[in-house]
Amino acid sequence: MKISIITATYNSVATIVSCMESVLQQTYPNIEYVIIDGQSTDNTLEMAQHIKSKSPQANIVIQSEADKGIYDALNKGIALATGDVIGFVHSDDMLANPNTIQNIVNTFNSQNVDGVYGDLQYVTQTNTDKVIRHWQSQNFKSSLLKKGWMPAHPTLFLKRDVYAKQGDFNLKYKIAADYDFILRIFKTRDYTFGYLPEVITKMRAGGASNRSLKNIIIKSKEDYKAVTSNKVGGWYTIVFKNLSKVNQFFK
């Protein structure tokens, strides 16, 4: 099973090394690593190329061109990916440990599913060992969608056929295209999903959706649009979705 991992970058020089190293240190051998850079104006691209030159044994594809934001970049990565399974490691993120991809592949094989997801930890910008929020997921049931449940998107690995059938991220969403996409695929009965009860991704706190009050308002509106357009709930779904995050700070 070939795994394609996509990283979208833009002026990510401060974090790109730890991000790429977490992928290149994986014990699973059959990984294609696709980096989509949005014409960074710092040294992100040069650093990525440097790391690639030091890892001749790795299958690394780097593309840099102007894009319309992170979801456009991810769509470009999906189009380039040739793996059986596609996942994302955002430039601020890291895979949790060197066996993460192997454990994901084992879950695909043992459970014969279309997608695998797990847990996520939010860590501080300066100390990635300091956990400030723990997103523990659970086995999927369709009734969870109306309660605002979703798997942490950075932990979700899907067979490439899912993207081929369901399409790309909707660029009409600036912040919640991942939520819309998850609702699109999880609301159908066409796919099965396996929950891997371990931390898959470490994410540095301070992402776009929570960076300002303005972004929080935009995200809430987009979440509501995603819920209603996919016919899985209403405003109560968004309330439950936000309330469910509170206990993540105490785990």
- Please state the separation of Cα 68 from the chain's center in Å: 18
Give pLDDT tens digits for 205-226.
875 555 567 888 899 999 999 9
Higher pLDDT, 16 or 241: 16
Percent of the chain with pLDDT over 70: 97
Q: What's the whole-model pTM score?
A: 0.93
pLDDT of residue 153 exceeding 80: yes
Report CA-CA distances (Å) from 139 to 144, 151, 177.
Answer: 10, 9, 23
Close Cβ partners of 56 (under 8 Å, ≥ 6 residues apart): none
| Average pLDDT of span 177-195 | 96
Domain regions of the chain by residue span: 3-249
Q: Which two tokens stand for residue 221?
A: 């509106």
**129 has pLDDT over 60:** yes
**Percent of the chain at pLDDT above 90?**
85
Contact 15, 92 (CB under 8 A): yes
Distance CA 34, CA 108 (A): 21
pLDDT mean over 163-167 = 94
Distance CA 224, CA 226 (A): 5
Round the average pLDDT of the chain to a whole number and report it. 94
**SS3 state of residue 136:** coil
Q: What pLDDT, on a 0 to 100 scale, did the predictor assign at position 212?
A: 63
- Of 225, 128, 231, the C-alpha closest to 176 is 225
Minimum mean pLDDT range among 23-32, 100-109, 233-242? 233-242
Question: What is the CATH code of the structural domain delimited by 3-249?
Answer: 3.90.550.10
CA distance 204 to 90: 10
Distances (CA, A) of 99 to 105, 128, 246: 10, 18, 29
Please give the Cα distance from 73 to 65 (Å, whole number): 9
Residue written as tokens 């942490």? Answer: 152
